[in-house]
């Protein structure tokens, strides 16, 4: 691995050490549900710095071979604890990552993802703890929560033991922009629809069948999909049905989602989907020959995650903005269309802003990250912690 020049160091952050930690982490396989090895390695590192650790029993519900990891770094200043969070799992192809560092930019060898999502966050947290410890800097209690199975439905956060967290606000590192804080994210409903028709021989007696795919197609054609407005999106992402070209399909399964920053809009768009599919089935029964209770439709709606809406004057926002200004940086308030562990935290009453590490082209084999960006975020966290430690009486 190329060594970064001394001139490139960011304040108290040791960029060479940060880069080495990141390299070490991405070389450990940790695709979703297989986080045990990396969790153990992180545990050893942080405990050597004086932190205490714990695991919850979420693995029984998430399907992971590890619980969520909790790191407690004791403070030397009497202020409220700060929460920092990220996730340990990666998407596929994430096994056998071979990181390459060229001109200060990490990439993989092109056959796998890099794993900057979200191991850049973990490397930054480790470097921040090391810097606090070796410089004896003032800081309050720090709680770091590293979740499992984030990439497969935020499972770790959804099943996390929240009794193990005392902090009421903090930050999740899980985005790109190093000069923005995401404080608004949508709620999402996951929708699964099964249309039941009647099978028949497609060549000999097609009129005796009820084509479930045709019914589903009519319903989907009647939906408004994509961006509904500036706060709401709707998507049909999966459809599966039929077993052969010479059989009228008797069943089709459709999966989709609705997201919105507005709860009423989320409900309306979800209700519209239910209404359209129901109307198609009822119209068929009125106009065509039905077969007993066929056709019919079954619809399951699950709230995937709640929305996030952190007020602009909340300490999560103002603290990050003060820290950025102190470093001569910008910190703009952002809204996103994606979900993250922060959504689940918000639903539990823990307000978190999502900060960026500089990771780019995530979930692809072109994923990359600049060491400078990771160092910039590490410096920002140090400054957040420093300012927070001075506000004990506020």
Q: What is the pLDDT along the chain (394 residues), one digit of tens a residue?
A: 444 544 444 579 999 999 999 999 999 999 999 999 999 999 999 999 999 999 999 999 999 999 999 999 999 999 999 999 999 999 999 999 999 999 999 999 999 999 999 999 999 999 999 999 999 999 999 999 999 999 999 999 999 999 999 999 999 999 999 999 999 999 999 999 999 999 999 999 999 999 999 999 999 999 999 999 999 999 999 999 999 999 999 999 999 999 999 999 999 999 999 999 999 999 999 998 888 899 999 999 999 999 999 999 999 999 999 999 999 999 999 999 999 999 999 999 999 999 999 999 999 999 999 999 999 999 999 999 999 999 754 4
Environment class of residue 21 by beta-carbon count within 10 Å: exposed (0-12), middle (13-18) or buried (19+)? buried
> Domain-by-domain residue ranges, the chain?
6-185+307-389, 188-305
| CA–CA gap between residue 183 and residue 196 (Å, rounded) | 42
| CA–CA gap between residue 390 and residue 322 (Å, rounded) | 12
Neighbours of 226 (CB within 10 A): 8
The helix or strand, by DSSP H or E, that contains position 22, with its residue range, turns out to be: helix 15-26
Q: Can you say how many angstroms the Cα of residue 98 is from the centroid of all Cα atoms in its chain?
A: 24
Q: Exactly one of 56, 127, 143, 150 is catalytic; which is it?
A: 150
6-185+307-389 and 188-305 agree in CATH topology: no
pLDDT of residue 289: 80
Please say whether the beta carbons of 270 and 301 come within 8 A.
yes
Q: Exactly one of 34, 89, 174, 383 is catalytic; which is it?
A: 89
| CA–CA gap between residue 169 and residue 83 (Å, rounded) | 6
Q: Which CATH class is domain 188-305?
A: alpha beta
pLDDT of residue 393: 44
Active site residue 20: no
pLDDT of residue 4: 53
At 354, give phi and psi (nearest 5°).
-100, 120
pLDDT of residue 392: 55
Neighbours of 52 (CB within 10 A): 11
pLDDT of residue 245: 97
Say what the pTM is: 0.92
CATH number of 6-185+307-389: 3.40.630.10
Active site residue 89: yes
Range list of H helices, the chain: 15-26, 36-47, 59-62, 116-135, 155-158, 212-221, 263-287, 315-326, 341-347, 371-389
């Amino acid at each position: 691995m190329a060594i970064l020049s001394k001139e490139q160091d960011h304040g108290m952050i040791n960029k060479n050490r940060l880069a080495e930690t990141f390299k070490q982490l991405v070389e450990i396989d940790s695709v979703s549900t297989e986080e045990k090895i990396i969790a153990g390695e992180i545990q050893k590192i942080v405990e050597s710095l004086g932190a205490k650790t714990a695991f919850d029993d979420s693995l029984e519900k998430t399907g992971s071979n590890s619980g969520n990891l909790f790191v407690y770094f004791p403070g030397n200043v009497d202020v409220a604890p700060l929460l920092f969070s990220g996730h340990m799992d990666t998407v596929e192809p994430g096994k056998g990552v071979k990181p390459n560092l060229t001109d200060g930019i990490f990439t993989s060898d092109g056959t796998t993802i890099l794993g900057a999502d979200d191991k850049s966050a973990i490397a930054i947290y480790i470097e921040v703890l090391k810097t606090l410890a070796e410089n004896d800097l003032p800081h309050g209690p720090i709680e770091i929560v590293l979740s499992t199975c984030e990439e497969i439905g935020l499972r770790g956060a959804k099943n996390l033991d929240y009794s193990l967290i005392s902090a009421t606000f903090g930050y999740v590192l899980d985005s790109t922009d190093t000069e923005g804080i995401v404080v608004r994210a949508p709620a999402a409903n996951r929708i699964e629809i099964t249309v039941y028709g009647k099978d028949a021989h497609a060549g000999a007696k097609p009129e005796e069948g009820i084509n479930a795919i045709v019914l589903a197609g009519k319903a989907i054609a009647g939906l408004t999909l994509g961006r509904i407005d500036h706060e709401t999106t709707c998507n049909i992402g999966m459809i599966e049905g039929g077993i052969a070209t010479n059989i009228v399909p008797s069943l089709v399964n459709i999966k989709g989602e609705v997201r919105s920053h507005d709860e009423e809009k989320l409900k309306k768009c979800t209700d519209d989907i239910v209404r359209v599919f129901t109307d198609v089935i009822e119209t068929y029964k009125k106009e065509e020959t039905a077969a007993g209770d066929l056709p019919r439709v079954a619809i399951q709606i699950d709230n995937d995650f709640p929305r996030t809406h952190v007020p602009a004057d909340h300490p999560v926002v103002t603290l990050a903005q003060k820290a950025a200004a102190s470093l001569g940086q910008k910190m703009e308030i952002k809204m996103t269309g994606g979900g993250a562990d922060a959504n689940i935290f918000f639903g539990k009453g823990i307000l978190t802003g999502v900060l960026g590490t500089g990771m780019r082209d995530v979930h692809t084999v072109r994923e990359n990250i600049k060491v400078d960006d990771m160092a910039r975020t590490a410096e920002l966290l140090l400054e957040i912690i420093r300012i927070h430690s001075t506000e004990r009486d506020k």
